[in-house]
């Protein structure tokens, strides 16, 4: 239904919107300028618009001309606290903030998809919900939008949901990847505080030294992972911060470390969490020190529905050409709050290459880097793919025997 050629007429205005967003990055859940830019860009389209209460989200509903279910397309809109060093002419004008993850591109592409779909809304066999989301980078904006009803914005629960993410490295522009099952990791952050009794370094028997206790914990956690988690359903524990003491001859009262935990299934997540707590508590007991564990579950694992992933793969191949789209062999260890959407409804999360021409995708700076650059052509690629995912999925639903 939609081809890249359809979107080329929109290219200039979408790229202009993307550059304007890139110049004025905003962080977290409060993105008032970005929200206004989206509202301005959607003005005049036949959309039912709703704004977020806990965050500056925009939810827009397009009613198709034929009856059918609703599907959801999501674009995240927030930037990162990074000082831009990319050298692009439309670089951030706000010190210490940058669209280093390409969410400016996602936002402009979702506007493009809304324009493409609105232009052919009489042909659509159902409704489309456009989810413009703040606060992907650690704030769980998707969870808040679900709380505020985005999945039911069309009056009925959406039958499927799609999102994509651009990458400044690894994939050349115009190449897309999809995979069934887990695509991104669950991510937890754990802070462990051990309290003993301070004393003189010459007389540890008269103190309760927390230092050897945390040293054992850090190494035992690695053994715990290999003895607890299936090697074909992996997990990673990394202790990236470790602090204790102030002098070589003083036994401190406290020691503390912070770990990140990544896993790719609910089962591995549960096993590694209980193993983590058991290991740390057991070692603390052995040393006679007290321990406090603050185990924060950030985002759950992002899981593509197998049928929706297969549909997204077919759709991407139809849009970009069969040779430009492949099934990713493995998930990636980053995490993403679209995971909350995919826990509620089936859907797929697609990777889209945006490495500029002339750069080697294998060595180009990655997402979140101050030097990351995303090719403008990906705005059109992403807009067409999103539009076709929605239109194709509604058509597919219309053709299914009931």
Beta pairing partners, 257: 192, 242
Q: Kindly write out the interface string for residues 51-90 of this chain, putting x where it contacts Zn ion by CB under 5 A and - elsewhere.
A: ----------------------------------------
CB nearer to Zn ion: pick between 163 and 280:
163
What is the DSSP-derived secondary structure letter of residue 370? T
Q: Pick the catalytic residue: 76, 78, 84, 376?
A: 78
Non-local (6+) Cβ contacts of 119 within 8 A are none
Q: Does 355 carry a binding-site annotation? A: no
* Minimum distance of Zn ion from residue 369's CB (angstroms): 11
Annotated active-site residue 136? The verdict is yes
Non-local (6+) Cβ contacts of 25 within 8 A are 79, 80, 92, 94, 97, 98, 99, 104
Q: Pick the catalytic residue: 84, 104, 127, 136?
A: 136
Q: Kindly write out the interface string for residues 87-106 of this chain, putting x where it contacts Zn ion by CB under 5 A and - elsewhere.
A: --------------x-----
Annotated active-site residue 78? The verdict is yes
350 contacts Zn ion (rule: CB under 5 A): no
* Minimum distance of Zn ion from residue 368's CB (angstroms): 6
Q: Which residue is listed with tokens 């802070």?
A: 191
Bridge pairing between strands 325-327 and 176-178: parallel
Number of residues this chain uses to bind Zn ion (CB under 5 A): 1
Closest residue to Zn ion in the complex (CB): 101
CB nearer to Zn ion: pick between 313 and 352:
352
CB nearer to Zn ion: pick between 79 and 214:
79
Distance between CA atoms of 346 and 302, rounded to whole angstroms? 11
∠ CA(344), CA(350), CA(356), 5° rounding?
Answer: 150
* Minimum distance of Zn ion from residue 157's CB (angstroms): 26
In whole angstroms, what separates CA 338 from the centre of its chain? 6
Q: Does 399 carry a binding-site annotation? A: no
Nearest to 160 by CA among 126, 116, 111: 126
Q: Does 215 carry a binding-site annotation? A: no
Residues that are catalytic: 78, 136
| Contacts with Zn ion, residue ranges (CB under 5 A) | 101
């Amino acid at each position: 239904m939609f081809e890249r050629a359809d979107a080329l007429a929109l290219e200039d205005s979408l790229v202009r919107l993307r550059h304007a967003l890139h110049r004025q990055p905003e962080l977290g859940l409060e993105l008032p300028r970005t929200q206004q830019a989206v509202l301005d860009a959607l003005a005049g389209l036949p959309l039912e618009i709703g704004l977020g209460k806990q965050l500056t989200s925009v939810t827009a509903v397009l009613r198709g001309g034929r009856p059918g279910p609703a599907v959801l397309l999501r674009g995240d809109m927030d930037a990162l606290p990074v000082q831009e060093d990319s050298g692009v002419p439309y670089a951030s004008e706000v010190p210490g903030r940058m669209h280093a993850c390409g969410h400016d591109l996602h936002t402009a592409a979702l506007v493009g998809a809304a324009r493409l779909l609105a232009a052919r809304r009489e042909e659509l066999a159902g409704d489309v919900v456009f989810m413009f989301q703040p606060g992907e980078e650690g704030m769980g904006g998707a969870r808040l939008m679900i709380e505020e009803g985005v999945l039911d914005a069309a009056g009925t629960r959406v039958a499927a949901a799609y999102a994509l993410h651009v990458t400044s490295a690894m994939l050349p522009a115009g190449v897309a990847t999809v995979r069934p099952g887990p695509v991104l990791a669950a991510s937890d952050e754990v802070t462990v505080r051990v309290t003993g009794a301070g004393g003189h370094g010459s007389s540890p028997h008269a103190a309760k030294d927390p230092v050897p206790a945390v040293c054992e914990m850090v190494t035992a956690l690695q053994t715990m992972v290999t003895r607890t988690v299936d090697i074909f359903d992996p997990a990673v524990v990394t202790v990236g911060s470790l602090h204790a003491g102030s002098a070589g001859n003083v036994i401190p009262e406290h020691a503390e470390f912070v770990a990140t935990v990544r896993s790719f299934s609910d089962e591995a997540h549960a096993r590694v969490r209980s193993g983590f707590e058991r290991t740390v508590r057991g070692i603390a007991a052995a040393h006679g020190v007290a321990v406090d564990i603050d185990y924060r579950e950030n985002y759950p694992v992002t899981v593509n529905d197998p049928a929706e992933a297969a549909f997204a793969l077919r759709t991407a191949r139809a849009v970009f050409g069969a040779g430009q789209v492949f099934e990713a062999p493995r998930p990636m260890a980053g995490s993403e709050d679209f995971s909350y959407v995919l826990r509620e409804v089936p859907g797929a999360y697609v990777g889209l290459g945006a490495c500029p021409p002339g750069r080697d995708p294998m060595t180009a700076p990655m997402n979140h880097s101050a030097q990351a650059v995303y090719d403008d052509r990906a705005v059109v690629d992403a807009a067409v793919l999103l539009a076709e995912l929605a239109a194709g999925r509604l058509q597919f639903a219309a053709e299914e025997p009931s």
